[in-house]
Amino acid sequence: MRGLMQERPLLVSGLIAYAEQYHSDTEIVSRLSDRSVHRSNWREIGVRSRRLANALARLGLRQGDRVATLAWNSFRHLELYFGVAGSGGVLHTVNPRLFPEQIEYIIAHAESGHVFFDLTFAALVEKLAPLLPSVRGWVALCDAEGLAGLNIPNLLCYETLLAAETDAFDWPVFDERDACALCYTSGTTGHPKGVLYSHRSQVLHAMATCSLDALAVSSRDSILLVVPLFHANAWGVPFAAAMSGAKLVLPGSLLDGESIYHLLRDERCNFSMGVPTVWLGFFDYIERNRATLDLSALKLERVAVGGSAAPRAIIEKFQTLLGTFLIHAWGMTETSPLGAVGNPLPKHRDLPAAAMFDLQTKQGRPIYGAELRILGADGTVQPHDGVAVGDLQIRGNWIVSAYFKADGPATDADGWFTTGDVAKIDPDGYVQLTDRSKDVIKSGGEWISSIDVENIAVGHPDVQEAAVIGVYHPKWQERPLLLIHRKPGRDPSKADIIGFLEGKIAKWWTPDDVVFVESLPHTATGKLLKIALRETYRDHLTGAG
């Protein structure tokens, strides 16, 4: 027997409609690239999203069409989140930190017909435009004066487009399973893969994000959104903020310790989220200026950290210097991204500080809507005993089922998605990542493909075999180290090898050091034994190894 309740589709437009009506005066604050601060609110974001929807219709946007962005966190990018998805389009947020060939591939693969870009990316867009004839319009996120000097075909101006429209627009109603956003992940080798979110998955993820045992986003929050809008939908926080009417503070491109400190203080932010590297820079600023800073001016109650493992030193500093609780979270672009969130349970209430810090170093426990399990080397499900280690798998309401335009599913027959992370899970469900089976390095929250660098390095005439591994780095968490097994009788220098890579890889992918070895370890099937190498060279860059 079917239930007899209404089935209103879960649509992203419902989030902005709610925020506009019931939290209209709650501020949306943006730091622009000239360091000035722009103030908007949910009413204006709602109104301008509807103007944008009218402009998109005039540009010919149809249901399911992709609209790309190359932009930092700002009110205009937030309007695109709601204006594009709300009117039935698919917002394709491109990571501008990827190198131009990847960006070109991604925009072509997504078939994004319009690209909205910040002026800081004008030079990049000038290079891309001739290579992407499928893009019908390049829309600069500025007013008409900002267009001066740009040499881009089919150039449009965001503010001019909006000024030509009225606020009158009825958000269309359609199937909640339709796509609303597209993010490419470059976590593994080969071309980046598209994760296509649905309205339903985003709204359910936002609801979960707002729950107390997840990130507890509410109208009481002033949130500094450090995580970029182009990283897995800024961890879904824009949608959760609209659903709950939270204040959002958008830092633009200025993510240095001082800029973050000032925004947290001036906007009285009680919540923030970002990758560990950003917080390392933040504490570096605090420590260098400790004598002159009044830390009691910060009202930061909690901070969510993920993307890479939150170092224990950061967990401790947040607590002892600022009284801020660090919520360690785990997720992926493929998981919207929240999978596990590190809140304590009632039984942990009276834990001594050191034991609480231990708990916080774990990556958190599953929230409702996401199931986690680990598989042993023989493919059997392992117990959650805090000892057994295995490949981490996930399934749930906001987990990828297939990549965009891929031939097959991304999961097994039972819907389990293999994450490429290796973990143990304790009896309370807390996940602890112990390694990565995917062959990649994560430096400052961005991926470096080990295999791509290895393939180029073995092209050097003196190189027999090459291995690239991620080793510990105090600022970037991980940096690539290149191990070279030379051909017999050959003796290249480090500079020869690094020089050979130059121009063939992005500059920030360049290994921090080159080590010459007599041989490289292999598995029984002939693959490089990276686990052993990571163990041996873990502290190579800090001088301890």
Residues that bind ligand ADP (CB under 6 A): 185, 187, 231-232, 306-309, 328, 330-333, 337, 363, 419-421, 433, 436, 442, 445
Give the nearer residue to ligand ADP in terms of CB position, either 161 or 399: 399
Give, rounded to a whole angstrom, the gap between the first and last alpha carbons of the chain: 66
Tokens describing residue 213: 């045992």
Q: Phi and psi dihedrals of 294, rounded to 5?
A: -100, 95
234 or 528: CB nearest ligand ADP: 234
Nearer to ligand ADP, 245 or 364 (CB): 364
What is the C-alpha to C-alpha distance for residues 402 and 196, in angstroms, rounded to an integer? 8
Compute the distance between CA of residue 341 and CA of residue 334 in angstroms, rounded to an integer: 16
The Cα–Cα gap between 528 and 521 comes to 6
Report the residue number, 150 or 531, with the smaller CB distance to ligand ADP: 531
CA dihedral sign, ordered 132, 162, 51, 230: positive
Angle at 178 between CA 172 and CA 181, to 5 degrees: 95
The nearest distance, CB 233 to ligand ADP, in angstroms, is 9
Tell me how far, at minimum, the Cβ of 432 lies from ligand ADP, in Å: 9
**Is 299 noted as a catalytic residue in this protein?**
no
Residue 93 Cβ vs ligand ADP, minimum distance, rounded to whole Å: 11
Closest separation between CB of residue 425 and ligand ADP, Å?
14
Q: Out of 69, 93, 185, 419, which one is annotated catalytic?
A: 185
C-alpha–C-alpha distance, residues 147 and 126, integer Å? 13
Instruction: Tell me the three-class secondary structure of 76-95, residue by residue.
Output: HHHHHHHHHHHCCCEEEECC
The active-site residue out of 176, 267, 334, 478 is 334
The least distance separating ligand ADP from the CB of residue 187, rounded to whole angstroms, comes to 5
Whether 519 contacts 484, CB under 8 Å? no
185: annotated active-site residue: yes
> What's the CA gap between 423 and 357, in Å, rounded?
19
Residue closer to ligand ADP, measured from CB, 380 or 434: 434
Nearer to ligand ADP by Cβ, of 17 and 234: the residue is 234
Q: Which residue of the set 72, 447, 476, 509 is catalytic?
A: 447
Instruction: Yes or no: say if 331 and 186 are a contact pair by the CB < 8 Å rule.
Output: no
Across 364-425, where does the E strand assignment appear? 365-366, 370-375, 390-396, 417-425
In the chain, how many H helices and how many E strands? 16, 25
User: What's the closest the beta carbon of residue 535 comes to ligand ADP, in angstroms?
Assistant: 17
Q: Which residues are catalytic?
A: 185, 334, 442, 447
